[in-house]
Amino acid sequence: MEQGNYSVGLDIGTTKIVAIIGRKNEYGKIEILGIGRSKSLGVHRGVVNNITQTIKSIQQAVEEAEANSGLKIGSVVVGIAGQHIRSLQHSDYITRTDSEEVINENDLDKLVNQVYKLVMLPGEEIIHVLPQEYKVDGQAEIKQPIGMYGGRLEANFHVVVGQVSSIKNVGRCIKSAGLDLGNITLEPLASSEAVLSQEEKEAGVALIDIGGGTTDLAIFKDGIIRHTAVIPFGGGVITEDIKEGCSIIEKQAELLKIKFGSAWPGENKDNEIVSIPGLRGREPKEITLKNLSKIIHARVVEIIEQVYVEIKNYGHEEQKKKLIAGIVLTGGGSQLKHLKQLVEYITGMDTRIGYPNEHLAGDTDEEVASPLYATAVGLLMNAVQNEAKGKTLGKRDVEEEHEMAYAGHEEEAGATTKVKRERKSVFDKWSEKLKDFLDNAE
């Protein structure tokens, strides 16, 4: 990024698009310089499905952030989510030519590059390769192998995979909105950067980010990312249900949910009623809050149970994999009344609401420290980290840029590897092809 010392995170969500500008202050905290948000049109369940609308919404958010801060936005870090994201575990090894030399960053690079070459299903692409534990000559549970001697370097990886077309569509929107794509990050990883403390990641924690279109999950244990998942339901389906169940329009359903909604039906008395103006000359509708919370409750239970299945898939019930810090809820959907109690009741795990103030400067606007902005703040932190690494090498073509970017995030995912990411050589041929393809597509 060549605009001095500030960075930009852009969260392309299903309900809103947020552009957030910030930089590191002298205490190492993130200082927010400007923020812009717009209603997101053209994104469905975390996936872009209308390019023109999405470009408009991005431009709107970016203009607001620029006006707000007086700065110009060039390169951005964006998040990716959606039901096409899946993750898998993979282990790989390299045999070193000279076991008299200590293991260095190049060896780790070589190993990670090897995983990037894995053959995926047609139309899929690796977004992140996150090292978990290393083994050197069969010696297990090594967190940081740099500086050790050994001939065979082995590692377990958490590999996150997404659909090429979805990733390209995001890239296309950014490019057409007149921006550079600095990096693409998995949204649950970004949110966890912003919301979780190091202690929680060590103890074992599940971060559940309930957005409008998707619910994202990231599980950490021993400071390392262990599992990620994107569930294609969020606050949007709750609103949809209220709309259908009460026969009202979407805007009213959304307001009802925010103002009077509760995830726990027992809370409301039978005689609590909200009157909703009817459409053009029709009678107003009366809705009991008890019914409202029954509708919400049914949907929320479904979402939480799906997330809980993922937590069990990770192996939470095994003694060694127990998540001691429990669950952290964030995202706009986490602001639903009594949600914390319901999650505790269903999962039996300690739960708190996560605010993205873990790394923000003390004088930050309260609005920005709302769970709504967890992903955006996380993406900004990622952008700041990249800036610090001096990784963004001037204005290259956007696709080439995002190829290099894919390399990153080992350490942001809690692993301590500080791997130099000059991935250009590996991706050269691939980027060229992709560039040609995109240029021809235009």
Distance CA 362, CA 372 (A): 18
Per residue in 92-114, pLDDT (tens digit) is 999 998 888 899 999 999 999 99
Number of domains the chain is built from: 3
The whole-number pLDDT of residue 271 equals 82
Answer whether 267's CB lies under 8 Å from 278's CB. Answer: no
Say if 261 falls within a structural domain.
Answer: yes
301, 325, 354 — which closes off a domain? Answer: 354
Tell me which residue of 260, 262, 282, 283 sits closest to 273, measured CA to CA. 260
Per residue in 359-389, pLDDT (tens digit) is 888 877 888 889 999 999 999 999 998 887 7
Note whether 91 and 130 are same-domain residues. yes
Say if 395 falls within a structural domain.
Answer: yes
Note whether 123 and 51 are same-domain residues. no
The whole-number pLDDT of residue 266 equals 80
311, 330, 354 — which closes off a domain? Answer: 354
Answer whether 73's CB lies under 8 Å from 21's CB. Answer: yes
Q: Give all strands (DSSP E) within 174-232, no chain letters.
A: 180-186, 205-210, 215-221, 224-231
The whole-number pLDDT of residue 413 equals 38
327, 354, 381 — which closes off a domain? Answer: 354
Domain that holds residue 392: 1-84+163-196+358-437
Note whether 208 and 318 are same-domain residues. yes
Say if 399 falls within a structural domain.
Answer: yes
Answer whether 300's CB lies under 8 Å from 339's CB. Answer: yes
Tokens of 301: 């239970």
Note whether 255 and 384 are same-domain residues. no
Say if 442 falls within a structural domain.
Answer: no
Note whether 234 and 377 are same-domain residues. no
Instruction: Write the CATH number for 121.
Output: 3.30.1490.110
Note whether 315 and 381 are same-domain residues. no
Note whether 120 and 182 are same-domain residues. no
Supply the DSSP string of 224-275, one letter for each residue. EEEEEEEES--HHHHHHHHHHHHT--HHHHHHHHHHH-BS-GGGS-TT-EEE
The whole-number pLDDT of residue 35 equals 93
Neighbours of 43 (CB within 10 A): 25
Note whether 208 and 348 are same-domain residues. yes
Tell me which residue of 207, 167, 233, 258 sits closest to 378, measured CA to CA. 207
Note whether 187 and 213 are same-domain residues. no
Neighbours of 207 (CB within 10 A): 28
The whole-number pLDDT of residue 439 equals 61
Note whether 348 and 402 are same-domain residues. no
Distance CA 253, CA 165 (A): 33
Note whether 62 and 158 are same-domain residues. no
**DSSP structural state of residue 349:** S
Instruction: Write the CATH number for 181.
Output: 3.30.420.40
Per residue in 196-215, pLDDT (tens digit) is 999 999 999 999 999 999 99
Note whether 2 and 124 are same-domain residues. no
- Segments in the chain below pLDDT 50: 1-3, 392-427, 429, 442
Answer whether 152's CB lies under 8 Å from 139's CB. Answer: no
Please give the C-alpha separations between residue 296 and each of 166, 268, 385, 439, in angstroms, as whole numbers. 30, 13, 39, 47
